[in-house]
Amino acid sequence: MRIVPAQELTGEVVVPGDKSIAHRALLLGALADGVTRVANVPDSDDLAATKRCLEALGVPIVRNGGGALHVTGGRIGEAAAPLDCGGSGTTIRLIAGLLAGLPFTSILSANAQLAKRPMGRIIDPLKLMGADISPLPPPATPNGRQAMLIIKGGGLHAIEYATPVASAQVKSAVLLAALHASGHTTVRESAATRDHTERMLRAMGAQITHDRETNTIMLSPSHLSALNISVPNDFSSAAFFIAAGLLAPRADLLIKAVNLNPTRTGLLDIITAMGGAVAVEQGHEENGEPVGDLRVRTVAGLRGATVGGAVVPRAIDEFPLVALLATQAEGETLVRDAAELRVKESDRVSAVAVELRKLGAQIEERPDGFVVRGRTPLHGAEVDSHGDHRLAMMLAVAGLIASGETRISGAESVAKSFPEFERVLAGITR
Ligand code: S3P
């Protein structure tokens, strides 16, 4: 991808449907009684992985004329071959939880990038529930996939589990397993993570309680009822346009119908702490999720901030952008308590520091985050995505405010969440 400096950014932005909500809609729809209709599923590699795995398990998924997916629930059975999760961490971790509760054997495979990411975090609690689940060793299968997990499901019992890492994927794996476990399962989180699973389970009629004071969720085995779900647009994809709108000259963007679940919008709080502002217009609720339009204009006078603690899981996918914003903020920005960034699609602490330095930033790694000294003018350079969609898109935004041309290799990785990114960006750039 080649990016040249923007003179002006204006117009309406429509980003793809929310990746996290769409995964959950397909997975829970496969368990619910009846046909769940899911509109606005992103046409991305990660959602293709979840759809492919469910179809291989016998779940009928058809696209209607308007593009919505119709998922017929209650038909899951043993697959004939390993389930190919591609590079999707949410697919493999959530489907492992779902399959742990069902009385047949499944093998889950992953691409080389996902095969390096930690799975002990779901294996441990699922084993405590009585699941027979083990990691499979390399080598890779002929299609470049590596078999990663074997699950002989069924016969689960409830547990009380305190998640050692604040991870919505771990929490959701346990909750999906709990739907088929005897007894009442309790999950306690050290800090609140995205709660889309809980909200959708409640909307589908599950017996679930959520104490937000103590971040404790209780779920009993439940029948789920099919829903009509319209997936709101993805805050984590909107975030690239939020940063672009704040940083680029003469910017005025309206980002439409974005999911504004407070467990996702930590970036807005970080921007406020840095002296910036994003306005919410037309806020309302849809399927139990808050949605609104975001108005973003060029900001002057951003200042450095210390970012750590409870906001970290609420902004976990946005830290490449926090680093970029910090390069344009006066003074020092310290990000801490964010060691989880090291086990995303890339080691995002190291990769963000290495790539932003190529553009002229002053950024240093810390074991659990980074320190940025600003503000520094950025200059175009050849940079690399490290195969990480969010790095590729952050570097494109950086290119808008850098002098000269920025060339991003590995930019095809944007297909993981936002295949249309370059076109949408071009549509607002002058
Ligand atoms: C996700 C949870 C987060 C996030 C990922 C999607 C989800 O991962 O980084 O992009 O849909 O549950 P962790 O749960 O590992 O923090």
Distance 47 CA to ligand 1 centre (A): 14
> Quick check: CB of 274 below 6 Å from ligand 1?
no
Taking the CA of residue 166 as reference, the ligand 1 atom at the shortest distance is 16
> Quick check: CB of 167 below 6 Å from ligand 1?
yes
Q: What is the pLDDT of residues 252-263, one digit of tens each?
A: 999 999 999 999
> Which of the following is catalytic: 293, 317, 384, 388?
317
Q: Which residue has a Cα nearest atom 11 of ligand 1?
A: 20
pLDDT of the residue at 175: 98
Phi-psi sector, 250: left (phi>0), alpha (psi -120 to 50), beta: left
Distance 162 CA to ligand 1 centre (A): 17
pLDDT band at 40 (very low <50, low <70, confident <90, very high): very high
> Quick check: CB of 36 below 6 Å from ligand 1?
no
> Quick check: CB of 20 below 6 Å from ligand 1?
yes
pLDDT of the residue at 141: 60
Mean pLDDT of 210-214: 96
pLDDT of the residue at 138: 72
Which of 194, 197, 237, 416 best tests ligand 1's pocket when mutated (most atoms within 8 Å of CB)?
A: 194
pLDDT of the residue at 282: 86
Mean pLDDT of 362-375: 98
Distance 334 CA to ligand 1 centre (A): 22
Q: Is the model's pTM score more than 0.85?
A: yes
Q: What is the pLDDT of residues 244-253, one digit of tens each?
A: 999 999 999 9
Distance 169 CA to ligand 1 centre (A): 5
Is the model's pLDDT at 228 over the cut of 70?
A: yes
> Quick check: CB of 261 below 6 Å from ligand 1?
no
Is the model's pLDDT at 309 over the cut of 80?
A: yes
Mean pLDDT of 283-303: 95
Distance 410 CA to ligand 1 centre (A): 22
Q: What is the pLDDT of residues 120-165, one digit of tens each?
A: 999 999 999 999 999 998 765 667 788 899 999 999 999 999 999 9
Known active-site residue 211? no
